[in-house]
Structure 1
């Protein structure tokens, strides 16, 4: 169990740093040449906290007594319920209806694309294992 928790921590922090660097690069390419140290640290810490929460939320899919629909909906609610308020608070998403609506829509589309791809991946993996057992 400790190994899995350490893996979740490493994965969450790693993904947060990759996304942080990606968005910093996008900002730089679009003319943002400097960032205040305090702002940068705040954004990086926030991104890492979100990365950890997102990573630990995957434990939801280990609740075998729950249906895949229930797991997916709870996971989605936890992620969006964590990301959206944090993104508004930190200033990544303006606290207005339009940007919030776009954020929720984008988050939902991206979430379900990833969910669909992962579902196909695991379905194929299970089929392959079942085929090997025959």
Structure 2
């Protein structure tokens, strides 16, 4: 039941974030109409409404990948490094095809940059997670030392 809850909240978050990003890119590109994705993606559909519905579906799936993936992986008793690596592999394997379907980048020219950015983001996530864990261990050690006195 918790997975369904995470899928629903992930879908809602994905649609919200996807819409806000598309709106931002539409504004930054000074378009006079809302562009749910790239022109190449939109041109695959009979009209922009159908393209927006397809985009929303992809955004929902992206949100589900991250929310359910995070719930299933970060709730394990694995160490932080293993959790981060497994989450990276799962999200990269599932998110990348969705981003390609959404027309966010052509695989030939941007894939290496995309991969590098993905790795950098996960290194940052891992480093922050390790710092938080070290801080918690330090606080617990201080509490234990006070109780001993």
TM-score category (smaller protein): 0.7 to 0.9
**Under a length normalisation based on structure 1, what TM-score does the superposition of the two structures give?**
0.78
In structure 2, the residue matched to 1:100 is 111
Higher Cα Rg: structure 1 or 2?
Answer: 2
Offset at residue 80 of structure 1 (A): 0.5
1:10 to 1:130, Cα distance in 2 relative to 1, 3 A: farther
Q: 2:53 aligns with which of 41, 52, 58?
A: 41
By relative contact order (CA 8 Å, sep 6+), the higher-ranking structure is 2
Residue 66 of structure 2 is aligned to residue 68 of structure 1 = no
Task: List gaps (5 residues or longer) in structure 1.
Answer: none
2:10 pairs with 3, 12, 34, which one? 12
TM-score, normalising length from structure 2?
A: 0.71
Q: Number of aligned pairs?
A: 130
Q: CA RMSD in A?
A: 2.4
Unmatched 5+ stretches in structure 2: 36-47
Distance 1:38-1:10 versus aligned 2 partners, 3 A rule: same
* Bigger mean CA deviation after superposition, 38-47 or 122-131: 122-131
CA–CA separation in structure 2 for the residues paired with 1:125 and 1:15 = 29
Q: Shift in Å at residue 26 of structure 1? A: 2.6
